Amino acid sequence: MMSSENYLDSITKQFQYYKHLGDKTFVQLEEQELFWQYNEDSNSIAIIVNHLWGNMRSRWTDFLTSDGEKEWRKRDEEFEDIIQSREDCIKKWEAGWSCLFEALATINEDNFNSLVYIRNQGHTLTEAIHRQLAHYAYHVGQMVYIGKMIQGENWESLSIPKGASKKYNTEKFSQKKSKQHVTDEFLTKKDTESN
């Protein structure tokens, strides 16, 4: 049976992974490309970031003691062209994730069985977390796809590159079986790159 500590470690790594995908998308794009829209009804990466920032602040601020849909949230404005620069985009991106990770760090054995409300709908703690994980993965996937559309053949794959599955699997199956989180390899690479 998984302990709350193991669960929180695992779920934190999953959130870190999706943040990493967004980070790697920003690196591949010029400032003006963050504002590119397929058509007027589509969202740019900057608009998606603005929405994620609003959602994260609302859901994760006092998430164990207040409803996840805060009265001060202005959701409709999240889909307007509010972000005007790369700096503002990254600032909101980082602020949203900081709010999330700070909230996750407050979970412990004593509050793990808390009920979390979102628009008056009660969720177990794990249901509330999974709801947000799925939501953020959905939007980060959109960001990656937009980046890939913009970059075309210059896009650097964020997963197993096309045509490289056999090589990747051969390498993985040549290693001894071990218990590890799916993101451990990414986290190790990230730590190595930052040193």
* Confidence band, pLDDT 50/70/90 cuts, at residue 194: very low
pLDDT at 120: 97
Per the structure, how many domains does the chain have?
Answer: 1
Question: What does 71-111 look like in DSSP terms, one character per residue?
Answer: TT--GGGGGSS---SHHHHHHHHHHHHHHHHHHHTT--TTT
Residue 185 lies in a domain: no
Residue 147 lies in a domain: yes
2-41 as b/e, with b when 16 or more CB fall inside 10 Å?
eebeeebeebbebbbbbbbbbbebbebbeeebbbbeeeee
Question: Span 118-147, mean pLDDT?
Answer: 98
What do you get for the CA distance between the two ends of the chain, in Å?
A: 36
Residue 170 lies in a domain: no
Residue 120 lies in a domain: yes
Residue 183 DSSP label: T
pLDDT at 169: 84
| Contact in structure between 124 and 16 (CB atoms under 8 Å) | no
Record the pTM: 0.90
Question: Span 117-124, mean pLDDT?
Answer: 97
Which pair of structure tokens corresponds to residue 193?
Answer: 């790159």
Least confident of 1-15, 29-43, 134-148: 1-15
Residue 178 lies in a domain: no
Residue 183 lies in a domain: no
- Rounded Cα distance, 47 and 51, in Å: 6
Which pair of structure tokens corresponds to residue 130?
Answer: 């999974």
- Rounded Cα distance, 124 and 114, in Å: 7
CATH number of the domain to which 151 belongs: 1.20.120.450
What average pLDDT is seen over the chain? 92
Going by C-beta distance under 8 Å and a sequence separation of 6 or more, which residues neighbour residue 104?
8, 11, 12, 15, 129
- Rounded Cα distance, 175 and 187, in Å: 18
pLDDT at 195: 36
- Structural domain span for residue 17: 4-164
**Using one digit for the tens of pLDDT, what is the confidence trace for 91-120?**
999 999 999 999 999 999 999 999 999 999
Q: What percent of the chain has pLDDT over 90?
A: 78
Minimal CA–CA distance to 93: which of 50, 57, 61?
A: 50
Q: Is 1's pLDDT higher than 60?
A: no
Tell whether the torsion through CA atoms of 176, 178, 182 and 188 is positive or negative: negative
Q: Is 162's pLDDT higher than 90?
A: no
pLDDT at 19: 98
Residue 171 lies in a domain: no
pLDDT at 192: 39
